Structure 1
C-alpha cells in the first residue's frame, strides 16, 4: 500500500477514535492528569532538594518507583473486581485529596516526612490507574484496529505530556512555587474525574452479577483461578497468566528490556549532555525535547501501520530502533550524533508502547485483564528501576560509552531471539474469519469486541452432507451451531417446524435449559456449520445479564412454536 492511502487510513482511524465520545473523554482525562503528574513530579524533586539535597531526591524517587512497582499488581485485583470506570474515578478522587492535604502541609511548613508519606499514599492510589484504563478501553471500541489506534493516540499524548508537563512544572515552581504546583495536580485529578464520570460503559461485566457455568463446563484455567484464595494469590493471577503464555512472556520481556535501557538513560543523560553535547546540565532539556519530537513522529508512523497486523514484529523493531542508535552514539560521540540518535530513540519508543498496551488487551482474559496488564507494567517498572540503580555502577566500571553499548548489545541479541515468536503472535492476533458471522448473531451482541473475538477462536467448522442428521431429539446437548452456508430442517415428532439458512442458529435450548435435544436437525443440502462447545457457549452468555435475557427470550419464543 502506498504512503498516501496509509496516511488517509491512519487519519480516519484517529478521527474514529476522537468521534467516539467515551474514548475521547478517556484520552482527555489521561492527557490532563498526565500533565499534572509530571508537573507534580518536578515540584516534588524541587521540594526534596530543598529539604535534603541531591541525596533526598535520589532516595525519594527510588522509593516512589519501588512503591509503584509493588502496589500496582495489588491494586489491579480491585480493578478486576469492580467496574473499571468506578475504579479510575476512585483513584482520581483519592489522589486529589491526598495531594491537596500535602499542598496544605507544604504551605503550613509541615515536616517533610509527612509530605513524603502523603505522596507515597497517592502513588499507591494511582499505581493501577493505567491497568484499569487498559481493561476499560476494549469495552469502548468496536474493532481491533480501533483498539490499536486508541493506544497509538494515547502514546502520542503521553509523549506530549511528558515534555509539556515537566516544562509546565518548571515554570509553575519558578513563578508560583511548590505549593501552587501541587494544587495544579489536584486540579488535573478533578479534570480527569469529571471526564471519566461522563464515560458510558454499556457492557461492563463487572457491573452485573455473574452466573458461573456448572463446574464441568468451566475451562480448566478458570477452575484453577477460582481455587486460588486470598488477596495476594489473586494479585498473582496476572503474573500466572503472563507466565503461562509464551507470547505474553515475550511481550513482557521485550518491554522490560527496553525500560531497562531507559532506566540507564534516565541517569546518564546528564553525562551525555556534559561530555557529548558540551552544553552542561542545561542540555538535558534539549535532549528531552529531541526524544519528545521523535516520539510524536513515531506515534504518527504507528498509525500508518494499523491495517498491517504486525504488532509483534513492530515491537521487536521498536526495541531494535531504541538500542541500535545507542551503539552509534557510543562509537561516534558528538553533538550532532547525540541529537540524531535521541530523535531516533524517541521515534522507536511508540512501536514498543503500542504493542505493550494492545497485545495484553487482545490476549489476556477479560476477568484478569487489569491484573495481567498490571503484572507486565510492574515488570517494566522493576526493570527500569534496576537500570537506574545499575547505571552509576556501569559508568564507574566501564565508562560512559561502554555503558551505552554493553546493555544495548545484550538487548539487541534478546530482541532478535524473540522475532520468530512475535511473528507467530501476529498470526495469532489476526481477526478470525468466523468473527464476521458471530457479529450478526443477536445472542452475542452484548459481548464486548475482545470477548467476541476470543469466542470466534473457539469455533469448530462442521461439514454436513445433504440428508445427514446434525442432532437428534433426545440426545445429550453438547454444542451450539451457527449456519454458515446451506439449509437445515427442524423437525419434532415427524412434524416440520421450520427451515433455517445462513446466519441462523440452533442447539441453544438444550444447553441453556440443561435438557436433552428438543428437536431433530437435518441438512437439506450440503451445509457448513460453525460449532461452539457447551462450555464456551455457556461461559460467554453467563457473563452478561443482557446476554442471558436475550438467550431466554429466544428459548421461550422457539418453545412456544
Structure 2
C-alpha cells in the first residue's frame, strides 16, 4: 500500500498520553482503588474473591482448632506432626494439580478441591466428637489442607483472563490479599470463640461450614472461554510442565531470590505455627482461646497492610515491596521473641500481618508479569511447592529449636536470619522493578475501541504485540472501495475522510476503527478511507482479528453490531 511504513513506538505512546485512549493519570492509588471496584463488579471475579475468602476463613479456623486439639492430645510433637503432614503431601501434589489445571480448567479444579476439603474436615470433626484416635483426625485435616495450596495459584492464573486492564488486575490481586487478611482475622476469632464455648471438634465443624460456602461460591464460576486454549501452547506432560515451572521460578531475583526468600519466609511461618502455641500456653501462661486471638492479630495487621498496599503497591515497585514484606516478617518475629505479655505478643503479630500484605500480593503479580501467562501457572505451582516445603521444614524443626534454645531464642534466631536474607536480596529485586515489563501503550488505545474493550488483559497484551503501526500523508488512500480487505484499522492520531460510492461520510478520528465489514463478511471493502493530513494508524491482520474477536461473545457481537450499523446506512 502506498505510503505505508512502520512507525516508531513513540507514536503510540504519544497518543496514549494525549488522546482519548490515555486519559489523565490521577495516581496509583486512584487507579488501584477504581480498578478494585470495577473488578468486583465482574461476577466471576466476585465469585472467585468470595470463594477465596471463605476458603481461607475455613482454613484459618480449622488450623486454630487443630493446634489446640493436637497440643491437648500429644503436645508440641503432635502439633509439629500435624504441620508436616499438612504441608509435605501438598508440596508434592500442588505442582501436579496445577499442571492438570491447564487441562481441566481452573474453575473445575477449584470446585473439586474445595468440595473435597469440605468433606474431609467435616469427617474429621465427626471423628473428634466421637473420640476416635487423634492420629485419624490429624490425618483427615492434614489431607484437606494439602489440597488448599492449589487455590491461590489457580486464582492468580484465572485473574488475568477475567480482568480487563493492568490496574484492574493489580487491584483484584490486592483485593484477594485483603480477603486473605480479613479471613485471617475472622477465622481464628471464630474458632477461638467456639473453643472457649465448646471444643475443638465443634470448631472443626464450624470451619467446614465456611469451606462449604466457598464450594458454593466457586461452583458458579465459569472457566475462561475457548480463547484461553487458543493462546496456550500444547503441553508435553505433567512432570515436564512442573519442571519447566520450577526452572522459570529460579530465574526471578537471581540467584534464585524468589525461591530462597519464599522458602525462608514460610520456614519461619511453619516454625511460628509451633512456637506460638508453646509461647502462648507455656511461656506466657495464656488459655487455649489465646491461640485464636493471637492468630487473629496477623489477620488484623494484614487488613491494615492491605489497605496501605492498595495505595502503595504498583507495577513499578513490586520487587521492593516483596522484599520489604519478607524483612517485615523477620522484624515482627524479633519483636515477638521479647514479648513479656500477651498484649505485646498481639502487637508483634499485627506487625507480622502488616508485612505479609506487602509480601503476598507482589509475589502473585510478579510471576505472571515476568514469566508470561503461558508459564505462570506452572511457576505458581512450583512456588506453592516451595511454600509447602518451607512450612513443613519449619514445623518439623521448631520443637527441636525450642528444646535446644528455648522458644524466645528460637524466635530471635529465625527472625534475625530472615531480615539478613531480605537485605541480601534487596538489590536483585530492585533491579526487577527497573526492568519490569510495562503494558504496551497500544493496549490502552485498543481498549478504547468498543470491539476490543471486552477482551481479557492477556489477549489484549498479545494483540498489542501483533499490531502494526503506519503513517500516511495528506491525501493518501488507506483502503479503497471494492478492493480485498486484510486488516482492521484503528486511528491513533489525525483524521481520515470516508466516502462510499463517491459520497462523503463523517470523518474518523483518534480511537475510531474501520475495516471490520470486509473481515467479518468476507466481502470487498465497502468504503474508501483517505488521510486528511498526517494520519497514524494501528492495523490488526485478518487472522488475529477473527481469532480474538470471534472467541469472545461480547466482542463478536460488538463487531457485528458495528458492521450492521454501517451497512444499514450504506447497503451494498
TM over 0.5: yes
**In 1: Cα distance, 2:224 partner to 2:50 partner:** 24
Query: Taking structure 1 as reference, are residues 259 and 403 closer, same or farther at Cα in structure 2, changes over 3 Å only?
Result: closer
Segment of structure 1 superposing worse, 105-114 or 122-131: 105-114
Residues 1:205 and 2:224 are matched in the alignment: yes
* Alignment equivalent of 2:472, drawn from 450, 454, 464: 464
**In 2: Cα distance, 1:128 partner to 1:490 partner:** 53
Per-residue CA distance 1:198-219 (angstroms, 9 max, x = gap) = 56x5xx434x48784xxxxx8x
Residues 1:184 and 2:206 are matched in the alignment: yes
**In 1: Cα distance, 2:396 partner to 2:332 partner:** 23
Alignment partner, residue 215 of structure 1: none
Residues 1:40 and 2:59 are matched in the alignment: no
Residues 1:409 and 2:420 are matched in the alignment: yes
Conserved 8 A contact 2:32-2:168: no
Alignment partner, residue 96 of structure 2: 74
Query: Taking structure 1 as reference, are residues 183 and 542 closer, same or farther at Cα in structure 2, changes over 3 Å only?
Result: same
Conserved 8 A contact 1:247-1:422: no
Alignment partner, residue 279 of structure 1: 284
C-alpha deviation, 1:10, in angstroms: 7.4
Query: Taking structure 1 as reference, are residues 497 and 233 closer, same or farther at Cα in structure 2, changes over 3 Å only?
Result: farther
C-alpha deviation, 1:70, in angstroms: 2.0
C-alpha deviation, 1:134, in angstroms: 2.7
Query: Is there any run of 5+ residues in structure 1 with no aligned partner, and where?
Result: 213-217
**In 2: Cα distance, 1:175 partner to 1:86 partner:** 37
Conserved 8 A contact 1:211-1:542: no
TM-score (norm. length: structure 1): 0.75
Query: Taking structure 1 as reference, are residues 242 and 337 closer, same or farther at Cα in structure 2, changes over 3 Å only?
Result: same
- 1:443 is paired with a residue of what secondary structure? coil
- 1:485 is paired with a residue of what secondary structure? strand
**In 2: Cα distance, 1:246 partner to 1:378 partner:** 18
Per-residue CA distance 1:4-34 (angstroms, 9 max, x = gap) = x998887766665666665454444333332
**In 2: Cα distance, 1:515 partner to 1:241 partner:** 46
* Alignment equivalent of 2:389, drawn from 382, 385, 392: 382
Query: Taking structure 1 as reference, are residues 284 and 550 closer, same or farther at Cα in structure 2, changes over 3 Å only?
Result: closer
Residues 1:312 and 2:312 are matched in the alignment: no
**In 2: Cα distance, 1:22 partner to 1:371 partner:** 22
Number of positions where the alignment pairs a residue of Structure 1 with one of Structure 2: 535
Conserved 8 A contact 2:494-2:532: yes
Query: Taking structure 1 as reference, are residues 467 and 137 closer, same or farther at Cα in structure 2, changes over 3 Å only?
Result: same
C-alpha deviation, 1:262, in angstroms: 3.3
Alignment partner, residue 155 of structure 2: 133
After TM superposition, the structure 1 = structure 2 runs for residues 111-510 of structure 1, keeping only pairs within 5 Å, are 112=134, 114-197=136-219, 204-206=223-225, 208=226, 212=230, 222=232, 225-226=233-234, 228-236=235-243, 238-239=245-246, 242=249, 254-269=261-276, 279=284, 288=295, 291-305=298-312, 309-323=316-330, 342-360=349-367, 362=369, 370-389=377-396, 396=404, 400=410, 401-425=412-436, 428-429=437-438, 431-468=439-476, 480-488=488-496, 500-506=508-514
Query: Taking structure 1 as reference, are residues 295 and 118 closer, same or farther at Cα in structure 2, changes over 3 Å only?
Result: closer
Query: Taking structure 1 as reference, are residues 186 and 80 closer, same or farther at Cα in structure 2, changes over 3 Å only?
Result: same
Conserved 8 A contact 1:145-1:306: no
C-alpha deviation, 1:329, in angstroms: 8.2
* Alignment equivalent of 1:54, drawn from 55, 62, 76: 76
C-alpha deviation, 1:419, in angstroms: 0.9
**In 1: Cα distance, 2:112 partner to 2:130 partner:** 27
Conserved 8 A contact 2:336-2:344: yes
Query: Taking structure 1 as reference, are residues 69 and 338 closer, same or farther at Cα in structure 2, changes over 3 Å only?
Result: same
**In 2: Cα distance, 1:198 partner to 1:170 partner:** 31
**In 2: Cα distance, 1:434 partner to 1:247 partner:** 31
RMSD: 4.7
- 1:447 is paired with a residue of what secondary structure? coil
Per-residue CA distance 1:359-386 (angstroms, 9 max, x = gap) = 3455665566544433333333333434
- 2:425 is paired with a residue of what secondary structure? helix
Query: Taking structure 1 as reference, are residues 133 and 528 closer, same or farther at Cα in structure 2, changes over 3 Å only?
Result: same
Segment of structure 1 superposing worse, 505-514 or 80-89: 505-514
Per-residue CA distance 1:469-522 (angstroms, 9 max, x = gap) = 657999998765322123456899x98997754333456678779999999865
**In 2: Cα distance, 1:468 partner to 1:135 partner:** 45
Alignment partner, residue 100 of structure 1: 122
Query: Taking structure 1 as reference, are residues 210 and 257 closer, same or farther at Cα in structure 2, changes over 3 Å only?
Result: closer
C-alpha deviation, 1:248, in angstroms: 13
Query: Taking structure 1 as reference, are residues 118 and 404 closer, same or farther at Cα in structure 2, changes over 3 Å only?
Result: closer
Segment of structure 1 superposing worse, 445-454 or 415-424: 445-454
**In 1: Cα distance, 2:503 partner to 2:247 partner:** 51
TM-score (norm. length: structure 2): 0.74
Conserved 8 A contact 2:100-2:238: no
Per-residue CA distance 1:41-99 (angstroms, 9 max, x = gap) = 23334444555543333123212111122222222234333453443333332222233
C-alpha deviation, 1:403, in angstroms: 4.0
* Alignment equivalent of 1:526, drawn from 531, 534, 541: 534
Query: Is there any run of 5+ residues in structure 2 with no aligned partner, and where?
Result: 1-26
- 2:79 is paired with a residue of what secondary structure? helix
Query: Taking structure 1 as reference, are residues 536 and 254 closer, same or farther at Cα in structure 2, changes over 3 Å only?
Result: farther
Per-residue CA distance 1:301-320 (angstroms, 9 max, x = gap) = 11222678533332233234
